[in-house]
C-alpha cells in the first residue's frame, strides 16, 4: 500500500523553497537552469528582467547577465515559447511538436480552429519557411504576410497573422527562436537551432517532464487548471501527500522529505516559479501576491 505523506504547512513551505534552490546559494548558471527546467524570458524590467532576477536570487553577486545572454546566443539555452530551456531538453518536446496538428479526434474546438487556420494559410507557411531557409535568422517584421484568412481575435492578436503563424510553426517544430536583436526575437529553421538528439517518445517525454517539474517545484497537484506555457501539475509522479489545512491531493518529491533547512533572504520576481502559481502560493504560504 502506498504511503500518503502527511505534511504541515511548514513542511510544505520548506519543500517548495528547497526545490527552487532558494535555501542555499548556487554556483553554476546552467546547473541552475537544468534543475529549474526553465527561465521565463520576459523582458519587462521594472527592477530587472525576470530571467536575470531568478538567476541572481539563486547565484548571488557572482551572477553575470552576460553569461546568460551568451548561453542563449550560443544556443546552450533555447527559447521555446518564451521560456529559456537547456538545449538538451528539446528532445522532450519534439514528439509533441510532431503531433501538434494530428487529427486524433479528441481535439478541443480551439485546437481544431488553429489547425484549420494553419491549413488554410499553408501558402504563407511555405513563404516564411522558404525565406528563412534562404536568409534566416530574421525578425517577424521581415517575414511576409501572405495569409488568405486573417487571424481573428477579440484581443491583441487580431490580424497579427505573421506572429500567430510563427507561434504555430514553433509549436510544430518547424521554426525556432535563434536569438534576439535588441528586444526583437530572431527566427530561423528549427533544424538549424535544435540539437540533433534522438526524439523521446511522447508518453515517456511527458512522464520525464512531469518528474523534472516535480523536482523543481517540490510538491504540486496531480491535476490543475490548464495554463499557457508550462503546466502547474505533475500527473502521478512522485508520492501522494496531504497538507494540513490545505484541501486536495498533492504529489511530493520524496527526496525532499525531512531535509534540514536554514533560511536566507532572496528577492523574487513576480514570475518566479515559487510564486508563479498564485493559487498554490496562497494555499501553502497564506500570502496574496
Range 112-121, long-range pairs (CB < 8 A, 24+ positions): 114/168, 117/149, 117/151, 117/164, 117/168, 118/165, 118/168, 120/148, 120/149, 121/146, 121/147, 121/148, 121/149, 121/161, 121/165
Q: For residue 263, what pLDDT is reported?
A: 83
pLDDT given for residue 210 in this prediction: 97
Pairing relation of β-strands 5-7 and 239-243? Answer: parallel
pLDDT of residue 13: 96
Strands (E) located in 147-273: 175-181, 184-189, 219-221, 239-243, 246-252
Place of cell 521560456: 83
The pLDDT of residue 224: 87
Q: How many angstroms separate the CA atoms of 101 and 207, rounded?
A: 21
Each domain of the chain, given as residue ranges in start order, spans 5-91+198-283, 101-172
Cα separation of 140 and 142, whole Å? Answer: 5
- At 160, list the grid cell: 497579427
> Which of the residues in the chain have pLDDT under 50?
none
Amino acid at each position: 500500500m502506498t504511503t500518503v505523506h502527511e505534511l504541515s504547512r511548514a513542511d510544505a513551505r520548506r519543500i517548495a523553497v528547497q526545490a527552487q534552490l532558494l535555501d542555499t546559494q548556487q554556483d553554476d548558471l546552467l546547473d541552475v537552469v537544468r534543475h529549474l527546467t526553465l527561465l521565463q524570458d520576459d523582458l519587462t524590467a521594472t527592477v530587472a528582467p525576470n530571467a536575470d532576477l531568478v538567476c541572481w536570487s539563486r547565484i548571488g553577486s557572482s551572477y553575470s547577465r552576460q553569461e546568460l545572454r551568451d548561453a542563449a546566443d550560443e544556443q546552450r539555452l533555447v527559447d521555446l515559447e518564451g521560456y529559456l530551456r537547456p538545449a538538451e531538453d528539446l528532445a522532450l518536446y519534439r514528439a509533441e511538436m510532431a503531433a501538434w496538428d494530428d487529427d486524433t479526434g479528441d481535439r478541443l474546438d480551439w485546437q481544431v480552429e488553429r489547425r484549420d487556420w494553419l491549413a488554410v494559410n499553408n501558402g504563407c507557411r511555405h513563404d516564411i519557411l522558404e525565406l528563412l531557409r534562404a536568409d534566416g535568422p530574421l525578425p517577424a517584421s521581415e517575414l511576409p504576410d501572405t495569409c488568405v484568412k486573417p487571424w481573428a481575435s477579440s484581443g491583441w492578436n487580431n490580424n497579427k497573422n505573421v506572429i500567430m503563424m510563427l507561434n504555430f510553426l514553433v509549436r510544430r517544430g518547424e521554426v525556432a527562436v535563434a536569438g534576439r536583436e535588441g528586444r526583437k526575437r530572431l527566427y530561423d529553421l528549427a533544424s538549424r537551432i535544435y540539437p540533433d538528439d534522438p526524439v523521446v517518445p511522447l508518453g515517456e517525454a511527458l512522464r520525464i517532464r512531469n518528474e523534472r517539474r516535480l523536482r523543481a517545484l517540490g510538491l504540486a497537484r496531480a491535476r490543475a487548471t490548464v495554463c499557457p506555457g508550462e503546466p502547474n501539475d505533475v500527473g502521478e509522479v512522485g508520492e501522494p501527500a496531504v497538507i494540513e489545512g490545505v484541501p486536495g491531493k498533492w504529489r511530493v518529491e520524496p527526496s525532499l522529505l525531512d531535509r534540514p533547512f536554514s533560511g536566507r533572504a532572496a528577492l523574487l520576481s513576480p514570475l518566479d516559479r515559487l510564486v508563479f502559481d498564485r493559487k498554490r502560493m496562497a494555499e501553502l504560504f497564506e500570502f496574496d501576491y
